[in-house]
Amino acid sequence: MEHLLRARPTSSACELCCSPRRHLQRGGAAVTLGGTLPPPSAGFRTSAAQLSGHNKWSKIKHDKGRADAKKSSQRALLTRGIQLATRLYGPDPKFNGELVNAIAVARKAGVPKAAIDAAIARGQGRSSTGASLETVVLEAMTAAGDGDGAISLVIEIQTDNRNRALHDVRYIIKKHEAILTPTTFLFERRGRTVLKLGGGDDNNNKEAAVSENNSDFDNVMMQAIEAGADDVEDIGDGLFVVWTPPTLTHKAAQALNQGDLKAQIVESDIVWTPSQEKVRLPDAASARAFAGFLDAIREYSDVQAVYANVEQGDIAEEVWDAIEENLD
The per-residue pLDDT for range 56-76, each reduced to its tens digit, is 665 554 444 444 445 666 777
Assess if residue 39 is contained within a domain.
no
Q: What does DSSP assign to residue 306?
A: E
End-to-end CA distance of the chain: 26
Assess if residue 211 is contained within a domain.
no
HSE, side-chain direction, 13 A CA sphere, residue 306: 26
Same domain, residue pair 178 and 286: yes
Assess if residue 296 is contained within a domain.
yes
Residue where a domain terminates, one of 79, 94, 123: 123
Same domain, residue pair 110 and 148: no
Name the phi and psi angles at 284, rounded to 5. -65, -35
CATH number, domain with residue 79 = 1.10.10.200
Q: Which of residues 164 and 55 earns the better pLDDT score?
A: 164
pLDDT band at 2 (very low <50, low <70, confident <90, very high): very low
For residue range 16-28, list pLDDT tens digits in order.
Answer: 344 444 444 444 3
Rounded to whole angstroms, how far apart are CA atoms 214 and 226? Answer: 19
CATH number, domain with residue 177 = 3.30.70.980
Alpha-carbon dihedral sign for residues 137, 166, 288, 280: positive
Assess if residue 293 is contained within a domain.
yes
Q: What is the rounded average pLDDT of the residues 154-159? A: 94
Rounded to whole angstroms, how far apart are CA atoms 145 and 178? Answer: 12
Write the CB contacts of 83 (distance below 8 Å, at least 6 apart in sequence): 119, 120, 122, 123
- Paired with 157 in beta bridges are 136, 303
Percent share of the chain, pLDDT over 90: 30
Name the domain count of the chain. 2
pLDDT given at position 94: 87
Same domain, residue pair 116 and 145: no
Rounded to whole angstroms, how far apart are CA atoms 128 and 97? Answer: 22
Angle CA 176–178–184, to nearest 5: 135
Q: Model-level pTM? A: 0.70
Same domain, residue pair 115 and 141: no
User: What is the residue range of 302's domain?
Assistant: 134-185+276-324
